[in-house]
Amino acid sequence: MNSFKKISFIGSGNVATHLAKSFFEAGISIQQIYSLSCINAEQLSNQINAEYICDMEEFNSNVDLIIFAVKDEVIKQLSQLIIKKDQDARMVHTSGSVGLDVFENAIHTGILYPLQSFSKTKAIDISEVPFLITSQNEEFKKELVQLAKLISKKVYEYSDEQRKHLHIAAVFVNNFSNHLFAIAQDYCEKHQLDYQLLMPLIHETIHKIDTILPKDAQTGPAKRNDTEIIEKHLHLLKEEDEHLYRIYSLLTDSILKMYKPGARS
């Protein structure tokens, strides 16, 4: 049974928007939305029938749960403002890389980490988003698990260390891969090429690993240890862009190390 009837949010960005709307649709009352951006807070609050505030002095900690969905570096500062007034406040944050120790001197604390990349303007099936739950308070952890199950079918209990390691893996599969797409787009534009021609390849690359393990799906000159093609690519890149040359070389060496150890010095 869900024990969190009233929830407030610190933050009004991508994660806060998706979580607040999802919990609201699940029947939970969202009390307040705090944000430094009054416009963002107001826009979100209007969608979920909540009060919006831009001054932490107006924040009311008398709710069942406070969710911090803000940048990692401000979680401690903002949570301490609440803890000084109400040490019994029940709080969680949504970060994958920040530990429980950020909530100093608090009693009921945890982490509600949604393992997904969110954008305000893009709809997402949150029931398929994995939620990783962390808390040193076993009873509070059970409550958080039940809360997450209101909106997701995939809820797991993870330790601080496990979640931090998984967050690193998430950076590789999401942030780094997206950056490579952006590099490819810039490279195409630089050479007056149509980036859209790569879209079928991108989609196939992504969808392939639905049924094949990434290690088994790897293709390309580095996987084949095709030194002739690799050297041609590196020669072109070295002449025009030292930065891309280093990236190509590093990734090629990483693939070779995985599939052909010692193939290239």
* pLDDT band at residue 85 under the 50/70/90 scheme: confident
Choose between 20 and 2: higher pLDDT. 20
Strand order from edge to edge, sheet including 108-114? 51-53, 29-34, 6-10, 65-68, 90-93, 108-114, 131-134, 155-157
Residue spans in the chain of domains classed CATH 1.10.1040.20 = 164-259
Choose between 89 and 263: higher pLDDT. 89
Burial of 103 (C-beta count, 10 Å sphere; 0-12/13-18/19+): buried
* pLDDT band at residue 263 under the 50/70/90 scheme: low
Q: What pLDDT score was predicted for residue 261?
A: 74
Residue spans in the chain of domains classed CATH 3.40.50.720 = 6-158
pLDDT at 265 over 60: no
Structure tokens at 11: 């933050």
Map the chain to HEC letters: CCCCCEEEEECCCHHHHHHHHHHHHCCCEEEEEECCCHHHHHHHHHHHCCEEECCHHHCCCCCCEEEECCCHHHHHHHHHHHHHHCCCCEEEECCCCCCHHHCCCCCEEEEEEECCCCCCCCCCCHHHCCEEEECCCHHHHHHHHHHHHCCCCCEEECCHHHHHHHHHHHHHHHHHHHHHHHHHHHHHHHCCCCHHHHHHHHHHHHHHCCCCCHHHHCCCHHHHCCHHHHHHHHHHHHHHCHHHHHHHHHHHHHHHHHHCCCCCC
Mean pLDDT (whole number) for 59-75: 95
pLDDT above 70 covers a percentage of the chain that reads 98
pLDDT at 121 over 90: no
Half-sphere CA count of 108, side-chain side, radius 13 A: 19
163-177 pLDDT, tens digit per residue, is 999 999 999 999 999
* pLDDT band at residue 87 under the 50/70/90 scheme: confident
Q: What pLDDT score was predicted for residue 262?
A: 66
Would you tell me which CATH number, out of the four given (1.10.132.20, 3.40.50.720, 3.30.2010.10, 3.40.50.2300), belongs to the domain 6-158?
3.40.50.720
Rg (CA), the chain: 23
Class of domain 164-259: mainly alpha
* pLDDT band at residue 13 under the 50/70/90 scheme: very high
Q: What pLDDT score was predicted for residue 22?
A: 97
Q: Which amino acid does the sequence have at 38?
A: C
Q: Which amino acid does the sequence have at 179?
A: H
221-234 pLDDT, tens digit per residue, is 999 999 999 999 99
pLDDT at 64 over 70: yes
* pLDDT band at residue 133 under the 50/70/90 scheme: very high
* pLDDT band at residue 3 under the 50/70/90 scheme: confident
